[in-house]
Structure 1
């Protein structure tokens, strides 16, 4: 539950950035942004002026928002005629999150507020949210611990001959029983997934998902994740899932095999661990994201696996780590072109993976917090391959 003090600190940081950008206020309509500042995910709009008190107007459920919101001025959503009165006359430039606002919604609010200039604060908002408070880090540690507990159960139900889908169902059943919320929120347009994936023979299928591994999925309408393919002996089994508890996401991957792995796969896994170790040791404030990615790619290339790094050859993802928090695809991104330096308190899922056509998919993923001495592991479970 968001405290009033925490909310006020978040709002104060945003207000400082708005003033620096000469923006008179920010209007949030995206639910998870509203939750971040107010503590409620109800259908609402939140106005935060560059100076002064914020105001939350609620469409539904106002009754529930009253009990959840830490914004003092929480009221029902006004009529279109009354809406402009929420904004002081000096408000001329309003920040808006263009990255997630549909054009229809932009046009709706622009019509309600004629004469107001809407400016994009998407990056500003994401940068602020990327740095986690002590409360947020504690919640992510809890998410990591609870997800690890479910991963520990896998050797008890993974069997040769079971379908990928059965493995996924067994895992998801236990994750849900542990209190997993299942809402894997993503900000990027046209990206979606169902909690995670448990894949083996279907793992190497390329697909729309912006990651190293997509899986075959169950149909052309749902081309991501587990398929009905049977798990074979001596084939790598990759289990990559999110844990979502109290809204906060951690992301992790572990490898399993019924039997033994081919030497090529063992070599690729050792390279994954080497890359992860280098990145984790250098996950410090000031480290430049694209330089970390370049080093990871260099290590993959020197191991003879450059073309297999982060995807099937020709279908490679262009990153090796992504921010996590209330969303799966937060800042920062360890990717070429992402020149921003890391900041203490950011949380990053590092996931060096390899796709070896004809052999399978292998890799590792853990969620870390950026800290002065290097990344602090929030998914604290052995990285070793589990052989059954």
Structure 2
């Protein structure tokens, strides 16, 4: 559970940022934002003034919210008539997370607080959350330990002739028994996934909505992502790309397995992926520009003659090679074209150079790293090697 000390530190950082922008306070309604600052995910609204003590109003369950909350002033949500009286007269500018708040909710609070100017604090919120404390890094390291343990069990249940969905089910069963929570939260509109994906050469080249290198076929057009009912063939790469979610925090990892032997072209692409990961890990230092790291990764893929297959099937390539992780799978920063932002110490990124060859399969690697002065520090200890069965 979140500690009061951790909560106070986060709120202090937010208040400093609000004062720098001359914003009187921030109103949070998105559950994972409320959780980040308060420690409870109950149906709540959090008010953090630029100075002074925060206040948490809980709709349901108040009993559990009161028990879990690190906010001293935690109370039941007031009536619509009483709500405006909860704010001081001097409050004129209210921060709101426009990136995730539904228009209906925005209009609701706008009506409750007439005469106030609502301004977007999405960037402020995401910047604060991108930099992890030592407490948060320990949470992600624990995720890495647990997820790595499940990956180590794969040779004991992966068999020739399995369906992708059977492989996924076996992996997910063990992950759940290890205490995995399963909630893979994503902030981006129109993005969703179920824990991860296990795909083979039968479906690895399938394209889809998911903003990543690999989509998979999924089980239907309503769920067009992840494992399918296709049989896993021999002598082809089997991708297992999963998140480990524990205490709300996420780690993202990918490993490859082969029943038989691997096509030499795919083996060469795998070595290129390892080289890209190594370069990026060495350069995950404060001040490094995200876009420049992506462009260097793309250049390495091009030099290897693999640019058409880098981060997606030809013509469907994703334009990133790493993404922030934390309480959500798509946190800041992003190693992507156009993301001209400098890295900061304490940020955590999943680095995932992958190559997709329709008809042959997908190959690559993914690990989660913390940004430090000496470069990226891996938050899991599982070897990168392809496992041959």
TM superposition score category, shorter chain reference? over 0.9
Structure 2 residue 289 is matched with structure 1 residue 285: no
SS of 2:143's equivalent in the other structure is helix
Distance 2:108 2:377 in 1: 44
1:260-300 CA deviation, whole Å, 9 max, x = no partner? 11011001101100000000000011111000000000000
1:33-78 CA distance string (max 9 Å, x none): 0000000000000000001100000000000011000101000000
**1:212-241: CA deviation from partner (whole Å, max 9, x where unpaired):** 000000000000000001011101100000
- How far does residue 358 in structure 1 lie from its aligned partner after superposition? 1.9
Q: 1:271: which partner in 2?
A: 272
Where 1:278 maps in the other structure, the secondary structure is: helix
The equivalent residue for 1:134 is 134
Who is 2:26 aligned against? 26
Residues 196-207 of structure 1 mapped to structure 2, 5 A cutoff: 196-200=196-200, 201-207=202-208
2:117 counterpart of 1:117: yes
- 1:167 maps to which residue? 167
Question: What SS class does the counterpart of residue 170 from structure 1 fall into?
Answer: helix
RMSD: 0.5
Taking the aligned partners of 2:205 and 2:115, their CA distance within structure 1 comes to 52
Partner Cα distance (1:146, 1:123) in 2: 32
Distance of 1:90 and 1:340 partners within structure 2 = 35
SS in 1 for 2:119: strand
Distance 2:326 2:63 in 1: 27
The answer to whether the 8 A contact 2:206-2:358 is kept is no
| TM-score (normalizing by structure 1) | 1.00
| Aligned 8 A contact 2:216 2:224 in 1 | yes
Is contact 2:163-2:232 (8 Å) kept? yes
Structure 1: how far apart are the matches of 2:4 and 2:239?
41
* Counterparts of residues 81-92 of structure 1 (less than 5 Å): 81-92=81-92
Aligned-partner Cα distance in 2 for 1:380–1:187: 28
| Residue 351 (structure 1) shift | 0.2
Q: Is contact 2:204-2:358 (8 Å) kept?
A: no
Q: How many Å separate the matches in 2 of 1:67 and 1:115?
A: 34
Give the aligned partner of residue 228 of structure 1.
229
TM normalised by structure 2 equals: 0.99
Counterpart residue number, 1:342: 343
- Which residue of structure 1 lines up, in the alignment, with residue 366 of structure 2? 365
Rounded to whole Å, the distance in 2 between the matches of 1:276 and 1:283 is 10
Aligned to 1:261: 262
The whole-number CA distance in structure 1 between the counterparts of 2:8 and 2:354 is 40
1:380, CA displacement in angstroms? 1.4
- Distance, in Å, in 1 between the alignment partners of 2:211 and 2:158 is 27
Shift of residue 19, structure 1, vs aligned partner: 0.5
How far off its partner does 1:312 sit? 0.5
Matches of 1:361 and 1:49 in 2, distance apart? 49
Partners in 1 of 2:27 and 2:301 — Cα distance? 44
Q: How does 1:307-346 map to 2 (within 5 A)?
A: 307-346=308-347
The answer for the alignment partner of 2:74 in structure 1 is 74
Report the secondary structure of 1:152's partner residue: helix
Q: Displacement, 1:379?
A: 2.1
User: What corresponds to 2:156 in structure 1?
Assistant: 156
Give yes or no for the alignment of 1:45 onto 2:39: no
Match for residue 375 of structure 2? 374
Q: Does 1:217 align with 2:218?
A: yes
Q: Could you tell me how far 1:204 is from its partner in structure 2? A: 1.2
User: Does residue 187 of the first structure (1) align with residue 187 of the second (2)?
Assistant: yes
- What is the rounded CA distance, in whole Å, between the counterparts of 1:70 and 1:238 in structure 2? 40
